[in-house]
């Protein structure tokens, strides 16, 4: 009878250990998976070397690599990379860049430079402060926070004040032409 109780306790102990191992393993797998993919990498190397041109989270990466939030992308001095973050942004990492992607519109730049090729905006944190990039704008890791964009935006290739001068000139020319050209050479007298 004593042997049956011992066997029962041994079986319960082994079962408990197996269940705990299963729970621990499943939680590790769950913790290891990242969030939803947010982008794709395109690598452009200028020369072939023994070292991989681009690293993502310390692993060699090539064109087509899926990028997740929290990924650290590092380019060598011989390579650049373009990261397409869905429809939100498309950015280029210059050679010698280290960039951490927080999400589709936020990231941290610790070395090199980033250029926003397309998209509505990108918030980049550098060692000197935060910078908001617009389409075509770039930021260097050693650069201070960018100043607010100048209110003199170009519209149709001209600044707003140039358009105001042109419009004012046209209006002035029309008024002058209308008042000065009262040169009516048809002096007719009414007949009764």
Mean pLDDT of 43-72: 82
Least confident of 1-15, 26-40, 54-68: 26-40
Share of the chain above pLDDT 70, in %: 76
Task: Look at the block and give the residue holding tokens 């393993």.
Answer: 25
How far is it, in rounded angstroms, from Cα 165 to Cα 39? 46
- Residue 35's pLDDT band, with cuts at 50, 70 and 90, is low
| Beta strand ranges found along the chain (DSSP E) | 37-45, 54-56, 59-61, 66-68, 72-75, 79-85, 89-93, 98-103, 106-111, 113-119, 122-126, 129-133, 138-140, 154-155, 158-159
Residue ranges covered by each domain of the chain: 1-33, 37-140
> pLDDT tens digit string along 162-184?
888 888 888 888 888 777 755 55
Pick the most confident of 15-24, 29-38, 86-95: 86-95
Question: Residue 16 has what pLDDT?
Answer: 79
Calculate the average pLDDT of the chain: 78
Helices (H), the chain: 2-32, 160-180
Question: Residue 41 has what pLDDT?
Answer: 87
Question: Residue 189 has what pLDDT?
Answer: 61
26 CB-side CA count, 13 A: 6
> Are 46 and 81 in contact, with CB atoms under 8 Å apart?
no
DSSP letter at 163 equals: H
Mean pLDDT of 92-111: 88
Is residue 29 predicted with pLDDT exceeding 60? no
Is residue 149 predicted with pLDDT exceeding 50? no
> Are 107 and 99 in contact, with CB atoms under 8 Å apart?
yes
How far is it, in rounded angstroms, from Cα 113 to Cα 106? 15
> Are 59 and 51 in contact, with CB atoms under 8 Å apart?
no
Least confident of 38-52, 98-112, 139-153: 139-153
Is residue 65 predicted with pLDDT exceeding 80? yes
pTM greater than 0.75: no
């Amino acid at each position: 009878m004593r042997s049956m109780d011992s066997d029962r306790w041994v079986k319960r102990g082994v079962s408990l250990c197996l269940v705990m191992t299963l729970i621990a393993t499943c939680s590790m797998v769950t913790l290891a998976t990242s969030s939803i993919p947010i982008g794709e990498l395109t690598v452009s190397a200028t020369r072939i070397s023994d070292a991989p041109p681009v690293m993502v989270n310390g692993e060699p990466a090539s064109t087509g690599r899926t990028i997740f939030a929290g990924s650290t992308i590092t380019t060598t001095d011989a390579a650049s990379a373009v990261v397409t973050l869905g429809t939100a942004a498309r950015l280029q990492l210059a050679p010698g860049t280290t960039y951490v992607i927080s999400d589709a519109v936020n990231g941290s730049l610790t070395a090199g430079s980033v250029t926003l090729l397309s998209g509505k905006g990108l918030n980049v944190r550098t060692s000197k402060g935060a910078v908001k990039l617009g389409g075509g704008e770039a930021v260097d890791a050693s650069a201070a926070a960018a100043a607010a964009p100048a209110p003199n935006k170009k519209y149709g290739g001209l600044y707003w004040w140039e358009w105001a001068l042109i419009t004012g000139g046209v209006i002035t020319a029309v008024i002058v032409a209308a008042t000065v050209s009262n040169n009516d050479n048809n002096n007719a007298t009414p007949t009764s």
